[in-house]
Amino acid sequence: MMCLLLGPAGVGKTLLVKRLQNILPRRAGGCRTGKGELGEPPPTRPTVGAAGQVATRASPERRRTLCLRCPEPSRWSLVGVGADAEAGRRGVLESQCAASGSWGGTDSAHVLSAACFFSQVGTDLTDIGGPRKITIRELGGCMGPIWSSYYGNCRALLVGTDLTDIGGPRKITIRELGGCMGPIWSSYYGNCRALLFVMDASNPTQLSASCVQLLGLLSAEQLTGASVLILFNKIDLPCYMTLEEMKSLVRLPDIITCAQQNITTAEISAREGTGLAKVLHWLQDTHRASS
């Protein structure tokens, strides 16, 4: 079953996925998975840089997994885009070119360890050697308003998406999409059977934007048959809003009444592990019902 994990930037989606991956092994070993039982939270980075059909972020330890499929003709154009300097576009291009020996002799190990790049404010053309020559045009995040000027001869697009498999009797694949990817979320609705939408319970200023995104998801025709779980994350923080407060602010009862989807809500803390077992149970029950 394919499950989409969506929500604004900074709500804790990546940490949630990593925590869910750890729940099943710990439960199989007889460990509890309640508050504080999952240990220290692992480090995370914004989900904003990946390649084609390969789910990978531009972190140094994973850049070598970048794979580019090149159809005919022998020379074609590929556009790499991302929200900002944190997207790691430059690092992906440099590491791939170093691995293929087409980056002017730059040592690949040095490139992979590089942590700082100049801000991209223009457009860079990079050739990746091989049997079929690939030209990558990198566009800076600040160039967003004019990205469309370069779509003409583009045959592939680098975007950010992470795929995570949750083990168990029934395999569940969670596709996490970065908050800055909101304009292209609809490209991934096709085979979605379940939807996790995360909201930050500690950030009232983001609540209205989250509600707008949620309404857009619920009105999408491709998601009418999907089951939806709305997660209010970060309840471990002292400034978090209660479930009743958030329901009242976004008029959630009215949204649930008017929506075509089956909607469930839950309060969680991805950092502490609170409520994550219920999320896993929901995923398994939804998979069972859709089989």
How far is residue 190's CA from residue 221's CA, in Å, rounded to a whole number? 10
DSSP state for residue 201 in the 8-state scheme: T
Residue 21 CA to residue 49 CA, distance in Å, equals: 21
Give the Cα-Cα-Cα angle 103, 109, 115 (nearest 5 degrees).
90
Using the structure block, give the residue that is written with the tokens 């491709």. Answer: 222
Binding region: 179, 233-236
Beta carbons of 96 and 128 less than 8 angstroms apart: yes
User: Do the Cβ atoms of 58 and 89 come closer than 8 Å?
Assistant: yes
SS3 199: strand
| 280 vs 229: CA distance, rounded Å | 11
Q: Is 166 helix (H, G, I), strand (E, B) or coil?
A: strand
The DSSP bridge partners found for residue 76 are: 134
CB 214 within 8 A of CB 185: no
Helices (H), 78-231: 89-100, 108-113, 207-218
Fill in the DSSP letter of residue 214. Answer: H
Annotated binding site for GTP: 179, 233-236
How many angstroms separate the CA atoms of 160 and 9, rounded? 13
CB 78 within 8 A of CB 68: yes
